[in-house]
Chains A and B, each alone.
Chain A
Amino acid sequence: MIYLCVASAAITVIAIAAAIVLTLSIESSEILAREGLSFVLSSRWSPSEEDYGFYGIALPLVSTLVVGALATAIALALSVAAVVYLHEYAPRQIREVISAASFAMAALPTVVFGMWGLSTVAPLVREAGLSSLCARGSPTGQSVFTAALVVGLMLTPYASSVVSAAYDAVPFTYIEALHSLGALGFERARVLLGMVKRSVAAAALLSFGRAVGETTIVALTIGSAFNLPLCPFEPAHTISSLIASQYGNAFLYPGLASALSAAALLLLAASAATTALGTRIAGAVVTGVVRHESEEH
Chain B
Amino acid sequence: MRARSIRRRLADLAVHLLTAASALAILGAAGHILLSALIEGLPVLLRGASFFLEPPGPPGGDVGGVSPSLAGTLVTVAIATLASTALGVPAGVMLSEARGSPLARVAERAVELIAESPSIVVGLVVFTLLVVPMRTPSALAAAVSLSVVALPYVAAQVRESLAAIPLVYREAAFSLGLPKWKTVFLLLIPMNARGVATAVLLGSMRALGETAPVLFTAGAAFQAFYGIDKPSSTLSLLVFFFAGTPYENWRKLAWGAVLLLAMLSTSLAFLTRRLSSGVRM
Contacts and interface: CB of A to CB of B under 8 A. Distances in A.
B22 A81 contact: yes
A104 B30 contact: yes
Interface string A255-272: 000001100100110011
A27 B37 contact: no
A252 interface: no
Given A9-B90, A243-B120, A111 B12 contact: no
A226 interface: no
Interface stretch (B57-65, B165-173, B235-243): B235-243
Contact of B129 (A5, A23, A105): A23
Contact of B120 (A84, A94, A244): A244
B20 A107 contact: no
A271 B262 contact: no
Closest 6 CB pairs of A and B: A213-B118, A109-B209, A81-B22, A107-B269, A9-B90, A85-B19
Contacts of A10: 90-91, 94-95, 103-104, 107
Contacts of A187: 8, 12
Of B121, B127, B210, most buried by chain A (CB within 10 Å of CB) is: B121
A219 to B, nearest CB: 8
B219 to A, nearest CB: 10
Give chain B's interface residue range (CB within 8 Å of chain A).
35 or more
A182 to B, nearest CB: 10
Interface of B: 8-9, 11-12, 14-16, 18-23, 25-27, 29-34, 36-37, 40, 86-87, 89-91, 93-95, 97-98, 103-104, 106-107, 109-122, 124-125, 127-129, 148, 151, 155, 181-182, 184-185, 205, 208-212, 215-216, 236, 239-240, 243-244, 254-255, 258, 261-262, 265-266, 268-270, 273
A220 B254 CA distance: 13
Contacts of B182: 2
Contacts of B8: 184, 187
Contact of A17 (B19, B114, B212): B114
Contact of A9 (B9, B27, B87, B255): B87
B26 A98 contact: yes
Contacts of A247: 124, 127, 215-216
Of A86, A94, A186, most buried by chain B (CB within 10 Å of CB) is: A186
B1 to A, nearest CB: 14
A244 B212 CA distance: 8
Interface in A86-128: 86, 88-90, 94, 97-98, 101-116, 118-120
Nearest to A86: B23
A24 interface: yes
A215 B243 contact: no
A222 to B, nearest CB: 12
B211 A19 contact: no
Contact of A186 (B15, B26, B117): B15
A194 interface: no
A244 B215 contact: yes
Contacts of A156: 26
Contacts of B125: 19-20, 23-24
A185 B15 contact: yes
Contacts of A77: 22
B103 A81 contact: no
A14 B18 CA distance: 47
Nearest to A267: B118
B124 A212 contact: no
B62 to A, nearest CB: 21
B215 A98 contact: no
23 contacts: A9-B87, A11-B107, A13-B111, A14-B110, A16-B114, A17-B114, A82-B19, A88-B19, A98-B27, A102-B26, A107-B265, A108-B265, A109-B210, A110-B211, A115-B255, A118-B243, A160-B26, A184-B8, A212-B118, A213-B119, A216-B211, A219-B240, A261-B124
A13 B124 contact: no
A72 to B, nearest CB: 15
Interface in A164-209: 184-187, 189, 209
Contact of B107 (A2, A14, A214, A267): A14
Contacts of A6: 90-91, 93-94, 97-98, 181
Of B29, B104, B109, B182, most buried by chain A (CB within 10 Å of CB) is: B29
B181 A116 contact: no
Interface string A1-42: 011011111111110111111011001000000000000000
A279 interface: yes
A276 interface: yes
Contacts of B118: 212-215, 240, 264, 267-268, 271
B277 to A, nearest CB: 12
B116 A272 contact: yes
B206 to A, nearest CB: 9
